[in-house]
Chain A
Amino acid sequence: MSETQAEITAEIQSIEAADAGKGLEQPRRDYPPYRSSLLRHPTKSLVHADPESIELWAPCFGHQDVGAAEADLTIQHSGEPLGERMVVAGRITDGGGRPVAHQLVEIWQANAGGRYIHKRDQHPAPLDPNFTGAGRCLTDADGRYRFQTIKPGPYPWRNHLNAWRPAHIHFSLFGREFTQRLVTQMYFPGDPLFPLDPIFQSVTDPASRELMIATYDHDLTTPEYATGYRWDIVLTGSHRTPMEDV
């Protein structure tokens, strides 16, 4: 871990310049500035497959799987967690614009001090006894989700010297079909760490990176209680025909 931020930033900028105009919507799996990716990305081309029966469908989840209270990360303990209480809400559609209805959304995140409740997180920031940082919900018939949580803090990691992650919330999403599965991260507007972070920058197309950033939405802000952020999510397109959709 001897590289400086300046060296990592130079690598980030050079790859972005080489990818300019390619319109890559997804992150590069081969992205050396994120050092942990070096031995963990395929070097052979992905093989094109036409989805077969099972891949045209996604797993179903229902109210037996997810309790209504699991969407509120601020009520999981006896006291109020520390930090800025916030709501994040949005709508999930697939690449055909169809709402992803009654489907599972899972989130996890650091606390307000930038600390995860995970045994491998060694960041010397305090744990919050009133905050775990994991939640679930089901989307409604129109594909809408809503969580109440605490705004996570940025935190250091060991990719390089003085590496810091911009504040983010991890999202796990299922679509209407197996091939739409997505795990991603939601970021907050205007974070000064964006240009420095190799995970955020593994998406080398600037317009695509914008899609990972939530919007502050005053209409979602609750008077005297919580700030509001809106983040809509678009999964990949559908392969199932309407005839199969019964």
Chain B
Amino acid sequence: MTTPGQTVGPFFHYALPYEGGGDLVPPGRAGAIRLHGHVYDGAGDPVPDALLELWQADPGGQVPQVGGSLRRDGWTFTGFGRAETDAAGHYSFTTLMPGGTSPFFAVTVFARGLTHRLFTRIYPPSARSEADPFLAGLEPERRDTLVATPDEHGLVFDVHLQGDNETVFLTFPGHR
């Protein structure tokens, strides 16, 4: 039997977020994009106490297996980032576009009021469902919840925990 999850609660801010957590690369570096958005609840209100984690391949499609995410040296791409939402429910990462055969961002969502983490994926606007069996298997209107939209500096992706635009959240084999 697996150990159950529990909510991250309201008081994680002094423990989990850390300096530079959302900056997988320094802002302004060549190739850097901003990946940002809001987290909303079922009433459409922003969630000011959520935490997002990003995990991704590098632009060449390699899965990083190097330390240094908690104390970044400014040069090493670790593929991992963590960003909390602010009072307006907004989060922001600075990162690089993932490459390779599955060029999506893997995301974990935590929040006060959410009893157990949620997994999702952020696909780039160029993702085409005919080329991706997972996207192809989704109903078209739900598929759009996983695809980011471009803006001036990169990508926008909102998370809807509940409601009409509820984000597609994932379960993996063996998860109960």
Q: Measuring CB to CB, which residues of chain A are less than 8 angstroms from any residue of chain B?
A: 23-29, 31, 34, 36-44, 46-66, 95, 104, 106-108, 110, 116-118, 120-121, 132-134, 136, 170, 172, 178-179, 181-185, 199-200, 202-203, 207-209, 211-212, 233-237, 239
Using known A-B contacts A40-B42, A53-B57, A236-B175, determine if residue A61 contacts B162 with beta carbons closer than 8 Å. Answer: no
Q: Would you call B14 and A118 a contact (CB within 8 A)?
A: yes
B74-113 near A? 1/0 per residue, CB < 8 Å: 0000111000000000000000001011101010101111
Q: Measuring CB to CB, which residues of chain B are less than 8 angstroms from any residue of chain A?
A: 1-16, 41-43, 45, 47, 53, 55-57, 61, 63-71, 73, 78-80, 98, 100-102, 104, 106, 108, 110-119, 121, 134, 138, 142, 161-163, 166-176
Q: Would you call A212 and B3 a contact (CB within 8 A)?
A: yes
Q: Would you call B2 and A179 a contact (CB within 8 A)?
A: no
B68 to chain A, nearest CB (A): 5
Main secondary structure of the interface of A (DSSP, over half): loop
Q: Which of chain A's residues have a CB closer than 8 A to the CB of B111?
A: 40
Interface centre among A28, A31, A36 (most CB of B within 10 A): A36
Q: Which of chain A's residues have a CB closer than 8 A to the CB of B80?
A: 59
A179, B171: Cα distance in complex, Å: 9
A89, B55: Cα distance in complex, Å: 28
A54, B58: Cα distance in complex, Å: 10
Q: Would you call A170 and B15 a contact (CB within 8 A)?
A: yes
11 contacts between A and B (CB under 8 A): A39-B41, A40-B113, A42-B169, A47-B170, A51-B173, A56-B63, A57-B63, A60-B66, A172-B16, A202-B6, A234-B2
Q: Would you call B173 and A50 a contact (CB within 8 A)?
A: yes
A233, B2: Cα distance in complex, Å: 8
Q: Would you call A234 and B134 a contact (CB within 8 A)?
A: no
Q: Would you call B2 and A61 a contact (CB within 8 A)?
A: no
Q: Which of chain A's residues have a CB closer than 8 A to the CB of B67?
A: 60-65
Q: Would you call B116 and A27 a contact (CB within 8 A)?
A: yes
Interface centre among A29, A38, A117, A120 (most CB of B within 10 A): A29
Which single member of B4, B78, B121 contacts A209 (CB below 8 Å)? B4
From A29, which residue of chain B is reached at the shortest CB distance?
Answer: B115
Q: Which of chain A's residues have a CB closer than 8 A to the CB of B162?
A: 39-43
Q: Which of chain B's residues have a CB closer than 8 A to the CB of A179?
A: 119, 172, 175
Q: Would you call A41 and B115 a contact (CB within 8 A)?
A: yes
Using known A-B contacts A62-B68, A108-B15, determine if residue A47 contacts B112 with beta carbons closer than 8 Å. Answer: no
Which single member of B106, B110, B138, B174 contacts A95 (CB below 8 Å)? B174
Using known A-B contacts A183-B117, A236-B174, determine if residue A47 contacts B6 with beta carbons closer than 8 Å. Answer: no
Which single member of A27, A37, A104 contacts B4 (CB below 8 Å)? A27
Q: Would you call A182 and B166 a contact (CB within 8 A)?
A: no
Q: Would you call B5 and A27 a contact (CB within 8 A)?
A: yes
Q: Would you call B100 and A53 a contact (CB within 8 A)?
A: yes
Q: Which 6 A-B pairs have the closest CB atoms?
A: A62-B67, A36-B113, A108-B15, A59-B80, A40-B113, A65-B70
B158 to chain A, nearest CB (A): 14
Q: Would you call A51 and B16 a contact (CB within 8 A)?
A: no
Q: Which of chain A's residues have a CB closer than 8 A to the CB of B174?
A: 95, 236-237, 239
Interface centre among A55, A110, A136 (most CB of B within 10 A): A55
Which single member of A40, A58, A239 contacts B47 (CB below 8 Å)? A40
Using known A-B contacts A39-B41, A49-B134, A237-B174, determine if residue A27 contacts B6 with beta carbons closer than 8 Å. Answer: yes
